[in-house]
Amino acid sequence: MTQELSQTALAALMLTALTVGFVFGAIYDLLRIRRIACKKGKSEKKHLTSFIEAFIIGIEDILFFIFLGCVTSVMYYVFSSGRVRLLAILCEFIGFIIYRLTLGRLVMLVSDIIISFIYFLWRKFVAFVIMPPVNFAKKTASKVFASIARSYRKVGRRRFSNKMKKSLIKASRGGMLGF
């Protein structure tokens, strides 16, 4: 039993598959840029750090392909009643390759600029949004702990001076030598 598609439905499926492949190429480039940024951020990689980074890359790839599979399944459901078409898979792959050979190359050429811009935005975000409350909390905590420390020093001095007075009085009762 074969299910035939009209020419317009088949064309819509192929065009959608090309578009989906192109979009997935762009999404995968975002992952590639993140990986490049992580490598540039670390001057010395230790074995454990590289193992963790490889594990994270593996998880990212698995999640990417799960997402790709879900979107592709929905595309098949919408355009061909859930029937997988080999031509649609081929068009999706061709869309991915077209992106990688055209816009993907350009994106990778300017990835250093993109990474520098993202770092710049992150530093500005940290400087203007995160650091003011952190600095305020540090100053407040410093003042609070300094006042607590001053009060403990005063109590400690009083206790020390009271002990000293008692020992001097006890020593003076026995004379100069303490007999």
CB 54 within 8 A of CB 129: no
Confidence band (pLDDT; 50, 70, 90) for 1? very low
Task: Provide the angle, in degrees to the nearest 10, between the axes of the packed helices 47-80 and 86-101.
Answer: 130
pLDDT tens figures, 99-115: 999 999 998 888 888 88
**What's residue 100's pLDDT?**
93
**What's residue 10's pLDDT?**
82
Enter the pTM of the model.
0.60
**What's residue 46's pLDDT?**
61
DSSP H or E segment with residue 66? helix 47-80
Average pLDDT, the chain: 81
Spatial separation of the C-alpha atoms in residues 114 and 16, rounded to whole Å: 29
pLDDT tens figures, 131-174: 898 888 888 888 887 777 777 777 666 666 777 767 766 766 66
**What's residue 45's pLDDT?**
53
Percentage, residues of the chain above pLDDT 90? 24
Spatial separation of the C-alpha atoms in residues 109 and 103, rounded to whole Å: 10
**What's residue 101's pLDDT?**
93
Span 9-28, mean pLDDT?
A: 90
Span 68-86, mean pLDDT?
A: 85
Task: Retrieve residue 172's tokens.
Answer: 């003076």
In this predicted structure, the answer to whether residue 178 has a pLDDT above a threshold of 70 is no
DSSP 151: H
